[in-house]
Amino acid sequence: MSLPLWIAAWALLLHGCAAGRAPQAPSTRSDIRDCSAEPPYLPPTATNSTARLAVLRGILRTHGVHAYIVPSTDAHMSEYISERDARLGWLTGFTGSAGTAVVTRDKAALWTDSRYWTQAERELDCNWELQRTTSIESIATWILKEVPAEGNVSLDPFLFSIDTWNSYSRALRGSGRTLLPVETNLVDQAWGDQRPPPSSSEIYSLPAEFTGSRWQDKVAGIRQRMEQHARRPTAVLLSGLEETAWLFNLRGDDIPYNPVFYSYTLLTNTTISLFAEQSRLSQEARQSLRSGCPGPLCVELQDYGQVSAHLRRYAQGNVTVWLGTEYTTYGLYAIVPQEKLLEESYSPVMTAKAVKNAHEQEMLRAAHVRDAVAVIQYLLWLERTVPHGQVDEFSGAQRIDAFRWAQEHSRGPSFESISASGLNAALAHYSPSNGSSRTLSAREMYLFDTGGQYLDGTTDITRTVHWGEPTPLQKEAYTRVLMGNIDLSRLVFPSNTAGRTVESFARRALWDVGLNYGHGTGHGIGNFLSVHEWPVGFQSNNVPLEAGMFTSIEPGYYQDGDFGIRIEDVALVVEAQTEHQSGEKPFLTFEVVSLVPYDRNLIDLSLLSPEQIRYLNSYYERIRAHVGPELRRQQLEDEYVWLQESTEPFAVSSAGSAAAGSLALAALLSVLLSGLGA
């Protein structure tokens, strides 16, 4: 669900960096299209979109539409989408995760960010203009040029956020063009029976041992928040898929990597309506939901498609509907009259879910211990096999997935593994594909950003390693990224501090020498839910940090065409012990729950302060204490030895020249003094 937001920060910054590039000269590469050639050249990876466009344009004419906007997300603003919702991909051939297409009666264009420009040139045919930006302003300007005055610009309001709708609306205002919501999706009409069917797999109850609390208690908690709110909302509308999954302790597999299912919930002060395909619910799940019937804890099951009609009826009463504007679609939002809406960035379910209770914290910690075992197995395996030149990015990614699958409670990867060697790692979100994958080598750095779904928790970790001789710049950059990770992880800060006001601590060591990275510094994470879980994190639309929240901390550095570094850990926000205390609430700090050592080969200890080294040593002690016994339990003796070696404490005296000199001098002095005494 977080893609449009989380990715937006990457896109924005990456776009910023790339904006100054000169337009490309006609290409001589055979893997990308060349539409200026005669005849146009298309690589085999391109999709022929002519027939699809023709069908869609016929439909546009029927509806009196002059331009149709097609986004990349689904009706729940999901980060990952099902094949059935891959409308942009079907229409254009472009398979990147973020983009917007606009089709007019005679033109078609695709907007995407710099991560995907090359990919788009490989996948689009010459029906499509590629627009190297993602700004709505750019899309709107193009539309104003291509659509006649008095023309209709149309979109499916159930696929656009409130903000995006408003941006288009503002941009077209006063131009004579009308922004026309059409509730039937026109791409779906064109797609017809070729469109994949809806998922029919089971929606199941999470076993009690893996839930933080009973769904009835969660519902009671949300109703309490409703009562305590000054506006006294009568209902909460949930459209984020993990909202419903979390609230009812249900899971499904409609979306890759995220164990959720298509659903909406309307929770009122007296009733509960869950909109999902009833037949897909397991018997146990159905029993659980119906256990409070009749009564205020009875869940009425309704068809997924009924949500709009039901909400429309409900909104006719004397009601106030609370919803999260960051991820509710304009389509749903527009159903409720303005004065009956309680608009906040996030629903109370989102904010309740963000603060993990003691049991959820314990589960996430436990999942990270097993996850560390898998990552350590992978690191040792790489150390042994990379020198033989038999691992490539793709087989590496398969291997770590396999290590994770072997761990207890595993339910597979939590996102598409990033496994990137050498220059590929400079593309911050690179994922290898079978067949076009770089071989890992002791001469290059290797970055892997991977995570697992476990019944008790979701994990996400990035390590960057070098098995040979790193360059001075690689070592300096790695060390500074690590210093940033440490500086943010050990930061003590007041309760209720916004993440965006502290994320620069993860950058300062890089900034000091003129380096930086073009993406966000972290995101929340769920208990067997989304790997990018809003609203926790370090961006401007995240909520303030509170004890019990989990966030990733992931500074990086990317040297274009050369190498990439990222060091990512998941950390729990905990109360700090401070000498004094301003304010009524204890200060906070982080407890890092990812438990995998960093690459000693890449650390320049002389750059670290004594405080940073002491922090590192205490972190390594915790790794030993938590992961060591688990490695033994799993009889992974080699890994155990590897862990001991990799977590040897660093000498604090190595930090800085002054301190190092001090210890050396002291040693020398004691020799001299003993000599004098003799």
- Interface with a second copy (CB under 8 A), residue from 242, 326, 503, 554: 503
State how far the Cα of 1 lies from the Cα of 7, in Å rounded to an integer.
11
Cα(461)–Cα(567) distance, rounded to whole angstroms? 8
For residues 186-245, which are near a second copy according to CB under 8 A?
230
User: Hey, what are 553's tokens?
Assistant: 């901390």
* 3-class DSSP assignment, residue 395: helix
Site map 552..591 versus a second copy, x via CB under 8 A = ------------------------x-xxxxxxx--x----
Nearest approach, Cβ of residue 159 and a second copy (Å): 26
Nearest C-alpha neighbor of 299 from the set 318, 276, 317: 276
Q: Residues 592, 364: contact at Cβ < 8 Å?
A: no
286, 500, 622, 626: residue in contact with a second copy (rule CB under 8 A) = 500
Q: Specify the DSSP element, H or E, that contains 367.
A: helix 358-385
Count of residues touching a second copy (by CB under 8 A): 58
- Residue 651 touches a second copy, criterion: CB under 8 A: no
Of the pair 119, 504, the CB lying nearest a second copy is at: 504
Q: In the complex, what is the shortest distance from the CB of residue 365 to a second copy, in angstroms, rounded to a whole number?
A: 25
**CA angle, 340 as apex, 338 and 341 as ends, to 5°?**
70
Between CA 473 and CA 349 the distance in angstroms is 46
Q: Between 255 and 335, whose beta carbon lies closer to a second copy?
A: 335
Query: Which of 48, 501, 601, 606 lies at the binding interface for a second copy (CB under 8 A)?
Result: 501
Among positions 37, 54, 406, 513, the unique one binding a second copy when judged by CB under 8 A: 513
Compute the least distance from the CB of residue 69 to a second copy, in Å. 19
Q: Does 648 bind a second copy (CB under 8 A)?
A: no
Give burial (CB, 10 Å; 0-12/13-18/19+) of 202. Answer: middle
Instruction: In angstroms, give the least distance from the CB of 609 to a second copy.
Output: 8
d(Cα 237, Cα 247) in Å, to the nearest integer? 12
Helices (H), 157-256: 162-172, 186-191, 215-228, 241-248
- Select 298 or 502, whichever has its Cβ closest to a second copy: 502
User: Under the criterion CB under 8 A, does residue 677 sit at the interface with a second copy?
Assistant: no
CA–CA distance, 664 with 654 (Å, rounded to integer): 10
Residue 51 or 658 having the CB closest to a second copy: 658
CB of 580 to a second copy, least distance (A): 4
The backbone torsions φ and ψ at residue 101, rounded to the nearest 5 degrees and listed phi first, read: -110, 145
149 binds a second copy (CB under 8 A): no
Q: Which stretch binds a second copy (CB under 8 A): 98-106, 114-122, 503-511, 522-530?
A: 503-511
| Residue 447 and residue 581 in contact, taking contact as beta carbons nearer than 8 Å | no
DSSP state of 25: P
CB of 402 to a second copy, least distance (A): 37
Tokens of 287: 């029993």
We find the least distance from the C-beta atom of residue 672 to a second copy, in angstroms, to be 6
CB 459 within 8 A of CB 368: yes
- Phi, psi values for residue 672, rounded to 5°: -60, -45
Q: 44-63 mask for a second copy (x: CB under 8 A)?
A: --------------------
Compute the distance between CA of residue 327 and CA of residue 571 in angstroms, rounded to an integer: 25
Two structure tokens written together for 96:
């990147």
Q: Report, in Å, the least distance between residue 284 CB and a second copy.
A: 43
Q: Residues 237, 268: contact at Cβ < 8 Å? A: no
User: 230 vs 358, which CB is nearer to a second copy?
Assistant: 230
Residue 250: closest CA among 190, 242, 580 = 242
CB within 8 A of 63, min separation 6: which ones?
Answer: 154, 182, 186
Rounded least distance, CB 670 to a second copy, Å: 10
What residues between 309 and 368 interact with a second copy by CB under 8 A? 338-340
Query: Is residue 141 a contact point for a second copy (CB under 8 A)?
Result: yes
Using CB under 8 A as the binding rule, the residues of this chain from 162 to 191 that contact a second copy are 173-174
- Say whether residue 25 binds a second copy (CB under 8 A): no
Q: Is the Cβ of residue 293 or residue 664 nearer to a second copy in the bound state?
A: 664
Taking each helix axis from N to C end, the angle separating 358-385 and 393-405, rounded to the nearest 10 degrees, works out to 140
Interaction of residue 38 with a second copy, rule CB under 8 A: no
- Both structure tokens of 563: 């190498």
Nearest CA to 372 among 622, 623, 646, 644?
623
What is the rounded distance in angstroms from the CA atom of residue 308 to the CA atom of residue 333? 10
Regarding 472 and contact with a second copy (CB under 8 A), the answer is no
Minimal distance, residue 629 CB to a second copy, in Å: 33
Residues in 480-499 at the binding interface with a second copy, rule: CB under 8 A = 491-494, 497
Among 163, 610, 617, 634, binds a second copy (CB under 8 A): 610
Secondary structure letter of residue 292 according to DSSP: B
**Which of 54, 665 has the CB closer to a second copy?**
665
The single residue among 63, 105, 475, 508 that binds a second copy, judged by CB under 8 A, is: 508
Q: Does 512 bind a second copy (CB under 8 A)?
A: yes
Q: Rule CB under 8 A: which residues touch a second copy?
A: 16-17, 20, 137, 141, 173-174, 230, 338-340, 473, 491-494, 497, 500-505, 508, 510-517, 540, 576, 578-584, 587, 609-610, 653, 656, 658-659, 661-663, 665-666, 668-669, 672-673, 676
